[in-house]
Copies of this chain bind each other. A is one copy, B any other.
Amino acid sequence: MKKITPHHFSSEELLKSIQNPNVEPSINQIKRILHGMHPSEVAHTMESLPPKERKFLWSLIEIQDEGEIIAELHDEIQQELISEILPDELIAIIQDLELDKIVDILQTLPDRTTENILASMSKRDRQRIKDVLEYPVDSAGGLMNTDIISVRPKHSLEVVMRYLRAQKKLPQNTDKIFVVSRENKYLGSLSVSTIVVSDPSLNVRELMETETDPLSANLNDKDVSRLFEQNDWVSAPVVDDSKNLIGRITIDDVVDVIMEDADQNFLGMAGIAEDTFAAPARAARSRILWLSINLMTAFIASMTISLFQQTIDEIVYLAILMPIVASMGGVAGTQTLTIMIRGLTLQQINKTNINWLYKRELAVSIVNGILLSILVGGITYLWFNSITISILICFAMIVNLICSAVAGIFIPIMLRKFNQDPAIAGSVVVTTVTDVIGFFSFLGLASLVLI
């Protein structure tokens, strides 16, 4: 029989065997394979399984591996799993994790469970975790780890190296240590590479880097990730309002923030808030709100049409052509909206340039409106052989494309003013506007001209 080791065994084969547990490899073999896999790989495998199989896989994982795997799971799946674990069990599972991973998990739990878990910890760990929990999840403070190594400016590199050797092991992603005053005020940073390449007799003060400002604990996590991206940082110090050094943020946590933000923007545009393999009931619930909102806006569009019931009754061609005007406006409006959302997210758009952008979008929609309406007019003429209907649809489309640019620019700005995320609410509002204006302009013009 072929010897099965994690390296010979693809996660797809594992998925297959979990779903058909009666064929080779045996349960015990799967257990051994899981134990040998990297926690993030096990987490990814769990995320690729439907709920029932996911629970089965979870039951095969050894208790000492559970904590690291929970820490690697995406938020929704992590929460679902934790909700089925008793607080006492949870304490046993997570207590040996690094503090920042424990904090990540505690941030998703109800306050009472968090209190219970904190009560079971050593005083020192409890205080360090409480320091982080004080800040919102989406701030630099909520994102930071407290595993900082700090030294004083007056020490020589020799002393620093003796101190570091005494630590045996540095925390993960330690590319720099921090320099603080006797009162723990942040003074600067000292990169590990500098330690390695410099003369050991030099002082920390002579070698430390002081130009970069530390991050304020209240900074928004999107700003944190922008700063990391712009400056190519691996880690950065975090200070409180009085400039005391309280923690550090590492690039791996920033990468998670970036990926989750992108994920949420992407899913948000379709009104989805669920993981890929969510149970049917959960998925149905997560989507019906969005579908219902769209239903209401669809009825608004229908009411617009009903205003021109008589006109359609007399010229049925209008009913055939009206969806074209509405749909083209929707697509053009979504294009402008997408550019706006992207520019706002990247903090490229502000008062100094919004005017230019608005005029550009108007120009683009006028140019494209004219070009496309020639196409539409031509096809319509060939189809219905009526120059009047051709001209009508041309005019209506140009009107709707111009309105789509206006809507695409101003709706996200207004949504922001009302604290709504344009990436979620924007597209439904914009397409409602373009539907209504599309039907109204086409059928309205037709009523004026043809009746």
| A interface with B by C-beta (< 8 Å) | 12, 15-16, 19, 38, 40-41, 44, 47-50, 72, 161, 164-165, 167-170, 172-175, 192-193, 195-199, 228-232, 234, 251-252, 254-256, 258-259, 262-263, 265-267, 269-272, 274, 276-277, 279-280, 283-284, 287-288, 290-292, 294-295, 298-299, 301-302, 305-306, 309, 312-313, 316, 319-324, 326-328, 331-332, 334-335, 337-339, 341-343, 346-353, 356-357, 360-361, 363-364, 367-368, 371-372, 375-376, 379, 435
Expressed in whole angstroms, the minimum distance between the Cβ of A169 and any Cβ of chain B is 6
- Are the C-beta atoms of B284 and A367 separated by less than 8 Å? yes
**In the docked arrangement, what's the CA distance between A254 and B376, Å?**
45
Q: Which of B19, B172, B324 contacts A295, CB < 8 Å?
A: B324
| A339 contacts across to B, CB distance below 8 A | 272, 274, 276
**In the docked arrangement, what's the CA distance between A309 and B348, Å?**
49
For the complex, would chain A's binding face be called helix, strand, loop or mixed by DSSP majority? Answer: helix
**In the docked arrangement, what's the CA distance between A234 and B171, Å?**
13
| A40 contacts across to B, CB distance below 8 A | 229-231
- Are the C-beta atoms of B229 and A277 separated by less than 8 Å? no
Q: Which of B165, B175, B265 contacts A197, CB < 8 Å?
A: B165
The contact sample of 10 A-B pairs, CB cut-off 8 A, is A19-B353, A44-B347, A50-B360, A272-B339, A280-B367, A287-B368, A288-B368, A294-B331, A299-B324, A327-B435
Expressed in whole angstroms, the minimum distance between the Cβ of A256 and any Cβ of chain B is 7
- Are the C-beta atoms of A173 and B170 separated by less than 8 Å? no
- Are the C-beta atoms of A266 and B193 separated by less than 8 Å? no
- Are the C-beta atoms of A348 and B47 separated by less than 8 Å? yes
- A38, A47, A254, A255 interface centre (most CB from chain B within 10 Å): A255
Known: A198-B165, A305-B323, A316-B309. A288 touches B372 (CB 8 A): yes
10 other A-B residue contacts (CB within 8 Å) besides A294-B331, A302-B324: A48-B350, A251-B255, A262-B262, A276-B342, A280-B367, A283-B361, A287-B335, A287-B364, A292-B375, A294-B328
Expressed in whole angstroms, the minimum distance between the Cβ of A432 and any Cβ of chain B is 10
| A348 contacts across to B, CB distance below 8 A | 44, 47-48, 276-277
Known: A165-B198, A259-B229, A327-B298. A271 touches B335 (CB 8 A): yes
Q: Which of B174, B197, B259 contacts A169, CB < 8 Å?
A: B197
| A269 contacts across to B, CB distance below 8 A | 269, 338
Expressed in whole angstroms, the minimum distance between the Cβ of A163 and any Cβ of chain B is 10
Known: A173-B234, A324-B299. A255 touches B228 (CB 8 A): yes
Q: Which of B12, B175, B298, B312 contacts A234, CB < 8 Å?
A: B175
**5 A-B pairs with the lowest CB-CB distances in the bound complex, closest first:** A262-B262, A40-B230, A319-B319, A232-B252, A170-B193
| A309 contacts across to B, CB distance below 8 A | 316, 320
- Are the C-beta atoms of B197 and A196 separated by less than 8 Å? no
| A256 contacts across to B, CB distance below 8 A | 229
| A334 contacts across to B, CB distance below 8 A | 270
Expressed in whole angstroms, the minimum distance between the Cβ of A18 and any Cβ of chain B is 8
Expressed in whole angstroms, the minimum distance between the Cβ of A40 and any Cβ of chain B is 4
| A375 contacts across to B, CB distance below 8 A | 292, 295
| A319 contacts across to B, CB distance below 8 A | 305, 312, 316, 319, 322
Q: Which of B255, B316, B349 contacts A255, CB < 8 Å?
A: B255
Query: Nearest B residue to A350 by beta-carbon distance?
Result: B12
- Are the C-beta atoms of B328 and A295 separated by less than 8 Å? yes
**In the docked arrangement, what's the CA distance between A47 and B199, Å?**
42
**In the docked arrangement, what's the CA distance between A361 and B272, Å?**
13
